[in-house]
């Protein structure tokens, strides 16, 4: 029987162990999509305790606690941070076979040298031990990133953000490259006319000009896109139910925009046309600047109306959606490719039923200009776990070139989430090792090691050109 979470965790053969320890383990980390807070990095803060570092904003843990019968008071409510941590420790023993069980203990080990299995019996001691470390200079947020060998990361930023904290990070010459990513979802959300108008008004105030028509709007947004580029941004990101690629004319969209500004209700057809037009414009700007564009597709968000009203969005009430993806995605990519204006693109699916769809779709638009120009991204959100990663890796291997894959990201709000890269690397090495042991791949350790290191780091470094 193997020891829990030992040095060969998830590595089931000697070959896998060699590939991980000799090649993957030492590679730096490029985290090209996350939700870390730039202000915290710019000020290089220390968290007051492990609850703030670990539980604040982590809806993965919140969902598990609710499923375990924990009252909201101890999750997002007014309980003390120690009380919240104890309730998480009460939940952890019930997360067996959930990735949270592995992540929790990997994070305790890698950051805090705590090798105990978290439980109510040791919760307060571990809380105090980790909290004491977090209050020292060695555990500032930037040093937490350095502990995990993070070299580059991209936050997720609204076009209206002034990027002051990214500017401070650059001026302070921080050794970790920290860039913004352009996330314009709110700018195209015609499902909420009042919210969209409020957004447009904020943009007008920021730009110092009136926005009365579509041309004004696109010009103001393009100026923000330019501003992001001037501040080091080379990546965009969209979180959508599905790609929008309806047929439309520019005149139609101009009329739709006038209706939006007059707070007139739109038909479903008009909503889809507006979203399609905006998404296409954003993609043209990305191509013009040589950015990488990312599309996260398939989340059914904010399912619980009662708790959405009480707690707001991004609090753990989203799930996998069963949206139709292929036809509109193909049309969107084809429209851009037909104009020779398709930027480097990464597609992520939340519904595992779309795995083969995504793995084959990317092959339609790889044109030989760039290795892996159109990528199928790593297992995302609910698929960011052992089974999901294995299925993604195997499907990409069968239908594309795994060796050109840009690898893992965190998509996380936590500075303690970087052992997820280790988790992915161990799984990757184990799959290669298994094939070698079975005689399905040659035991060319030098070449296999290079491919492993490429997937872990080198491919992303070449692809993004940060």
Question: According to the model, what pLDDT value does residue 388 have?
Answer: 98
User: What is the Cα–Cα distance from 382 to 360, expressed in whole angstroms?
Assistant: 21
What stretches of 224-351 adopt beta strand conformation (E)?
A: 235-240, 292-297, 299-300, 319-320, 344-349
Handedness of CA 283, 284, 286, 287 (dihedral sign): positive
CA distance 333 to 363: 12
Confidence of residue 308 (pLDDT cuts 50, 70, 90): confident
* Global pTM exceeds 0.85: yes
Host H or E run for residue 399? helix 386-399
> Where along the chain do its domains lie?
14-47+140-464, 48-139
**Tokens at 429, concatenated:** 């090495």
pLDDT tens-digit map of 318-355: 999 999 999 999 999 999 999 999 999 999 999 999 99
Per-residue model confidence as pLDDT tens digits over 394-415? 999 999 999 999 999 999 999 9
What was the pLDDT predicted at 288?
A: 98
- CA pair distance 168, 39, nearest whole angstrom: 9
3-class SS of residue 204:
helix
Note the pLDDT tens digit of each residue in 120-159.
999 999 999 999 999 999 999 999 999 999 999 999 999 9
Cα–Cα distance between 66 and 68 in angstroms, integer?
Answer: 5
Instruction: Provide the pLDDT for residue 318.
Output: 93
DSSP string, 38-80: HHHHHTT---SSHHHHHTTT-HHHHHHHHHTT--GGGTTSSS-
Mean pLDDT, residues 239-243 taken together: 98
C-alpha–C-alpha distance, residues 100 and 414, integer Å: 13
**Homologous superfamily in CATH for domain 48-139:** uronate isomerase, domain 2, chain A (1.10.2020.10)
Do 326 and 357 contact (CB within 8 A), yes or no?
A: yes
- In order of 201, 226, 367, the CA distances from 208 in angstroms are 10, 16, 42
Among 319, 244, 336, which Cα is nearest to 284's?
336
Cα–Cα dist 144/151, whole Å:
12
Measured in whole angstroms, the distance separating CA 427 from the mean position of its chain's CA atoms is: 19
93's CB contacts (< 8 A; 6+ apart) are 117, 118, 119
Q: How many helices (H) and strands (E) does the chain have?
A: 20, 9
CA distance 141 to 38: 11
> What CATH number matches the domain at 14-47+140-464, 3.20.20.140, 1.20.58.100, 3.20.20.20, 3.10.580.10?
3.20.20.140
Radius of gyration of the chain (CA): 23
Per residue in 352-385, pLDDT (tens digit) is: 999 999 999 999 999 999 999 999 999 999 999 9
Q: Any idea what DSSP says for residue 269?
A: H
User: To the nearest whole percent, how much of the chain has pLDDT over 70?
Assistant: 100
Place of tokens 């060319």: 444
What pLDDT, on a 0 to 100 scale, did the predictor assign at position 168? 98
């Amino acid at each position: 029987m193997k020891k829990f979470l030992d040095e060969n965790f998830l590595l089931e053969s000697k070959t896998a162990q060699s590939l991980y320890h000799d090649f993957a383990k030492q590679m730096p980390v490029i985290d090209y999509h996350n939700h870390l807070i730039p202000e915290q990095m710019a000020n290089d803060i220390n968290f007051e305790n492990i609850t703030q570092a670990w539980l604040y904003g982590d809806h993965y843990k919140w969902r598990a606690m609710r499923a375990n019968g924990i009252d909201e008071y101890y999750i997002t409510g007014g309980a003390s941070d120690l009380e919240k941590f104890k309730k998480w420790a009460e939940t952890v023993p019930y997360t067996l076979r959930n990735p949270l069980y592995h992540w929790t203990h990997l994070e305790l080990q890698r950051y805090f040298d705590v090798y105990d299995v978290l439980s109510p019996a040791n919760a307060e001691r571990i809380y105090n031990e980790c909290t004491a470390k977090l209050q020292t200079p060695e555990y500032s947020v930037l040093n937490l990133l350095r502990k995990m060998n993070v070299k580059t990361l991209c936050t997720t930023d609204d076009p209206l953000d002034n990027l002051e904290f990214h500017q401070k990070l650059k001026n302070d010459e921080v050794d970790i490259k920290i860039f913004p990513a352009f996330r314009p979802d709110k700018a195209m959300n015609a499902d909420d006319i009042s919210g969209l108008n409020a957004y447009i008004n904020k943009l007008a105030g920021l730009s110092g000009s009136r926005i009365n028509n579509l041309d004004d709007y696109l010009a103001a947004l393009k100026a923000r896109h330019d501003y992001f580029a001037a501040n080091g941004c080379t990546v965009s990101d969209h979180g959508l139910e599905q790609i929008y690629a309806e047929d439309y004319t520019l005149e139609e969209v101009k009329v739709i925009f006038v209706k939006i500004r007059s707070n007139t209700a739109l038909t479903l057809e008009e909503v889809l046309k507006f979203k399609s037009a905006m998404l296409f414009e954003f993609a043209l700007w990305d191509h013009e600047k040589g950015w990488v564009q990312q599309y996260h597709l398939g989340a059914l968000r904010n399912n619980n109306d009662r708790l959405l009203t009480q707690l707001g969005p991004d609090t753990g009430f989203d799930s996998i959606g069963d949206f139709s993806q292929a036809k509109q995605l193909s049309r969107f990519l084809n429209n851009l490719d037909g104009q020779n204006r398709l930027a480097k693109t990464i597609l992520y699916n939340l519904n595992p039923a779309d795995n083969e769809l995504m793995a084959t779709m990317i092959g339609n638009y790889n044109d030989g200009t760039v290795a892996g120009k159109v990528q199928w991204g790593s297992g995302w959100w609910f698929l960011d776990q052992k089974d999901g990663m294995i299925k993604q890796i195997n499907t990409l291997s069968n239908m594309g070139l795994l060796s050109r894959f840009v690898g893992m990201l965190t998509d996380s709000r936590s500075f303690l989430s970087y052992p997820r890269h280790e988790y992915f690397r161990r799984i990757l090495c184990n799959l290669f090792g298994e094939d070698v042991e079975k005689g399905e791949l040659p035991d060319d350790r030098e070449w296999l090691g290079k491919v492993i290191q490429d997937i872990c780091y080198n491919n992303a470094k070449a692809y993004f050109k940060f």
